[in-house]
Structure 1
Amino acid sequence: MVQRLPVRIKLDAAELEKHPLKVGLSMVVTIDTSASGSQATQARR
């Protein structure tokens, strides 16, 4: 089963400058689920 979810991706500007994204590029991602406070509230909306 494939499920697609809308996500917001925050990219580090310095890393993006060193390693620009390219069309068709695959990447390994890390998801921080420990957000608290206002960030956690925004994520639940």
Structure 2
Amino acid sequence: MTAKEHGKKEPAKKERDLDEALKESFPASDPPSQEDPDRPKK
């Protein structure tokens, strides 16, 4: 297996930490209603 293939299965620690931070900022069970990240700011 090449390093590239291994990278796809196991993301770098930085990417994992970033993903966890995003999950904490925008929990799927309770999404922010006032600041929707998918909506453009007016």
User: Per the shorter chain, which TM-score range?
Assistant: under 0.3
* Greater relative contact order structure (CA < 8 Å, 6+ sep): 2
Higher share in helix: 2
Q: Which has the larger radius of gyration?
A: 2
Structure 1 length normalisation: TM-score? 0.21
